A and B are shown apart, each in its own frame.
Chain A
Amino acid sequence: MKAIEVKNLFFQYEDLPVLEDINFDVEEKDFVGIIGPNGGGKTTLIKILVGLLKPQRGTVNIFEKPVSAMNHHIGYVPQSFNFDSSFPISVIDVTKMGRLNQSKIFKNSAEDQLIAEECLKKVDMLTMKDKLIGNLSGGQKQRVLIARALTVKPKILILDEPTASIDSKAGLNFYELLHRLNEEMTIIMISHDIGVISQYVEKIACLNKKLVFHDSKEISREMLEQTYQCPVDLIAHGLPHRILDEHEHNH
């Protein structure tokens, strides 16, 4: 069954076209990485998949139904941190926010608590549950946001630039975590970190207004140059890490 099916999708902000004729399918339990330059439409595409933006044209189906009906199947981990770190809120209370759609006015808060703790355990953050979110490191915050997305009990996990605020050491464990989660759910991830992406994801899509979907994780120089529209050097930097370096701009 197809987890995501995007057909003839167009999106523009006022007069500025951001996405043009996007077509792709994601199979259940795929792990897809989306790469592309800043302003190439990555975050816009993710916001459409999550249901935050509505495309002007085209269709997006999640498990063969329109996005709007399928919010509860998607766990969304937004780019960096939208929130103010002075906000007085504990890790467990942030995590429980994923349960809000399920809960009516007289909600089962004991169940929500249990689910939130379970999800914090999955990301190895349960011991920090009573800490203030603002006092955590970047990597720890990221884990809490993943736990929050997991409380939705999603079939698809969508992460926008998750490596943005993580140092490389914490980054590795982080991808192992995603790998573990991938056994249960489909994962879509935006990243700048092309080297790490090729290490972990199964399929890569290059997005710069238009989307080119590759059914393999090999990144070739041609793929990158097409997407970034400038010469790019791909350097193998001692296995198992492949790092992209010397990215020249000659335009």
Chain B
Amino acid sequence: MPELFTYNFMVNALIASFLASIAAGVIGSYVVVKRIVFISGGISHSTYGGIGLGYLLGFNPILGAVGAALVTAGIVAKISRKKKQSEDMLIGIVWALGMALGIFFINLSEGYAPDLMSYLFGNILLVSNVDLVLMFILNIIVIGTVIIYYNKFQAVTFDEEFAKSVGLNTDRIYLLLLILIAITTVMLIKVVGIVLVIALISIPPAIAINYSKSLKQMMLISVILGLLFTIFGLFISYYLNLTSGASIIFISVVGYLFSYFLKK
């Protein structure tokens, strides 16, 4: 096993796993308690449109993904004031539209887009030093905001109506939370890919919620679980020569099933 760490890409992959697990565990805990997994899926899939636009116009696709995720977060915040039924439907439309635009832009762009598959399904072994710095900065933004807004996010995810009744601007706080989800989603694209982001955001907190006495504790357990799943998935993908993103999600689901039957 030690020979593994002599590869630069493996060291980068481990650092990326660590950084991804922090943001995914912290933000995923809010996603799970607020039951907005579907919304998060919509935000993550919409980034494909931004990635395609990046290819078409020749700028960094990740910047396109950030832009698309933020725009979708804004749209979702507006939609969420509507009735539950139409909210669900509209998010489904945004989800599909994002994917369609991505494919459309790539069709329009000249030449061949070689690593598009890695955006869809991730490839943690391709994480560059620049990616790591970007992930580090995004993590600082996410964690810093959560520390400052911890109580307000807790109030809005626990009982939005009461929070509003004491005078909190719940719409703005909810939008901020969606923006953090958008940032986290983009950070995870390199690790597990657009399609599998929701799994890494929702599975560790879904296990952690059963063993937690507070939201803080839930976040901590989620981060540790996320780290275990990504590293274990990484080893499996390395030794069995499987796609890393799929391996990580597979291990996560096994972990979830294990905890489910353990609880019973």
List A residues at the B interface (Cβ < 8 Å).
Answer: 50-52, 71-72, 74, 76, 78, 82-84, 86-90, 93-94, 96-98, 100-101, 103, 105, 132, 148, 152
Residue in B35, B160, B167, B213 whose beta carbon sits within 8 Å of that of A101 in the complex: B167
Digitize B25-56: 1 where CB-to-A-CB distance is under 8 Å, 0 elsewhere: 00000000101000000000000000000000
Docked-complex contact A78 and B159, CB < 8 angstroms: yes
Write the nearest CB–CB distance from B82 to chain A, whole angstroms: 11
> Knowing A97-B163, A100-B163 touch, does A88 contact B168 (C-beta < 8 A)?
no
Interface-located stretch among B148-156, B187-195, B227-235: B148-156
Residues of A within 8 A of B215 (CB): 87-89
Question: Can you show 12 pairs from A to B with CB atoms below 8 A apart?
Answer: A51-B167, A52-B161, A52-B164, A78-B165, A86-B209, A88-B33, A97-B154, A97-B163, A100-B155, A101-B168, A103-B151, A152-B166
Q: Which listed residue, A52, A94, A101, touches B158 by the CB 8 Å rule? A: A94
Question: Is there contact, CB below 8 Å, between B165 and A51?
Answer: yes
Is there an interface contact between B212 and A88, defined as CB atoms closer than 8 Å? Answer: yes
Identity of the chain B residue whose Cβ is nearest the Cβ of A50 in the assembled complex: B165
Known: A71-B167, A101-B168. A93 touches B161 (CB 8 A): no
Contact call B213/A97, Cβ cutoff below 8 A: no
Q: Would A71 and B214 count as touching, CB distance under 8 A?
A: no
- Contact residue range for chain B? 20 to 34
Kindly report which residue of chain A lies nearest to residue B166, judged by CB atoms: A101
A89 touches B214 (CB 8 A): yes
Give Cα distance in the complex from A49 to B165, angstroms: 10
Cβ contact of B213, chosen from A52, A86, A90, A152, cutoff 8 A: A90
- Whether B217 is near chain A, meaning CB under 8 Å from some CB there, is yes
B162 at the interface (CB under 8 A from A): yes
B214 in contact with A100 (CB, 8 Å): no
* Contact, CB under 8 Å: B159 / A82: yes
Further 6 A-B residue pairs, CB within 8 A, beyond A93-B214, A97-B162, A100-B166: A87-B33, A88-B214, A89-B154, A90-B213, A93-B154, A100-B152
Say yes or no: A84 contacts B33, CB within 8 Å. Answer: yes
* Complex: chain A residue closest to B170, CB-CB: A52
Residues on the B chain within 8 Å of A94, using CB? 158
